[in-house]
Structure 1
Amino acid sequence: MPGKIELDAWGRIIMSPADNQHGLVQARLVELLRRSLGGAAFVEASISTNPDLRVADVAWASDEFMRAHGQETPFVVAPEICIEVALPSNSARELHEKLAAYLAVGATEAWIVYPRTKRIEFFGAAGPLPRTEFALELDRLFD
């Protein structure tokens, strides 16, 4: 089964199954981020979250970030926005651990997008946020 591969702190391979709705939401997010904010938007951005290697489902990086880190694979500093698109197989603990890891290595915001319930949770370094602090219109994401 095709999927995304990550490594945990012990070097074990973690593989997430592919999901079409997941991919559609990723594509819409990339388009929205790029059109609204400029910079670079990624599907499957690899990020070193020492000791783990994580892969954000979607990430957005400013032009400034790209000048400093654009050639890195994996990124050693997280892009400004790191997003996980939840699958039914994801536990809340797993998703929140990933967001905490992205924030710990420099993300300004980390989001969990829930396609099936059409909601988004936003987090910053200090904890949950009522909404993103970036100038984005997310109303049509789930249309």
Structure 2
Amino acid sequence: MLTSTVVSNVSSTKDFSLEEWMQNPPDHTEWVNGELVEKKGVTLKHSRIQANLAYYWRNYKDSSGQGGQVYTEVPCRTNKQGRVPDVAYLTPELFNQFGEPAVLPQSFPLIAEIVSPTDLAEEVIAKSQEYLQSGGEEVWLVFPENRWIIVTTKNQRFVFTSGEIVSTQIVLKGFSVAVDELLA
């Protein structure tokens, strides 16, 4: 969810329905509050952390035999919006159920959002709750500048900081990585 405080990094159009977005979402867009919103301003650090997390999740799901798929910048529909999480994991069961449609019709079970300096904490936290209310089971909010990772589930919240090991709570069971290694 984006506000007028970050409009300089976002352009939007109102003549685009959620159904149109679901059929063919334009690159680097989300459908938020009735508007097509283009996300801009991704930094090198953001992209590096996104790649690191996708790499670690992909390797773990393969080595642990849990299967499924790991994606970056992949569209999904929540109960209210069309979203594009930075990193997402789809379980083998949901992959078998849905295949690979243009847009997943629900939230991914495991999602990570890398928070940029222009994002507002309240909005990122609200987005994580939106994912959890739309089929998501676990959301990682990665704050690179503060070296924090907040892991949320429907019933719990955990904060991991520099010097600690962050781990999955519900989905992709058993995965863990040092916060400093992930953010390196």
TM-score w.r.t. the length of structure 2 is: 0.71
> Displacement, 1:118?
1.9
Q: What RMSD, in angstroms, separates the aligned Cα atoms of the two structures?
A: 2.1
- Aligned-partner Cα distance in 2 for 1:80–1:50: 14
Structure 2 counterpart of 1:141, which letter? L
CA offset digits 1:81-132 (Å, max 9, x no partner): 0110010000011101211111111111011011122220000012413653
User: In structure 2, what is the equivalent of residue 132 of structure 1?
Assistant: 168
TM-score w.r.t. the length of structure 1 is: 0.89
- Aligned-partner Cα distance in 1 for 2:113–2:99: 21
Higher share in strand: 1
- Aligned-partner Cα distance in 2 for 1:46–1:93: 22
In the alignment of these two chains, the number of paired residues is 143
User: In structure 2, what is the equivalent of residue 30 of structure 1?
Assistant: 54
The reply to whether residue 59 of structure 1 matches residue 88 of structure 2 is yes
- Aligned-partner Cα distance in 2 for 1:105–1:24: 28
User: In structure 1, what is the equivalent of residue 14 of structure 2?
Assistant: none
> Displacement, 1:12?
4.0
- Aligned-partner Cα distance in 2 for 1:45–1:12: 16
Matched-pair identity in % = 23
User: In structure 2, what is the equivalent of residue 75 of structure 1?
Assistant: 104
The reply to whether residue 122 of structure 1 matches residue 151 of structure 2 is yes
Structure 1 counterpart of 2:175, which letter? L
Unaligned ranges ≥5, structure 1: none
> Displacement, 1:28?
0.5
CA offset digits 1:4-33 (Å, max 9, x no partner): 321212224242322110000010011100
Between structure 1 and structure 2, the one with the greater Rg is: 2
CA offset digits 1:18-68 (Å, max 9, x no partner): 211000001001110011123211111211113311111110112222111
Unaligned ranges ≥5, structure 2: 1-8, 10-26, 63-67, 160-166
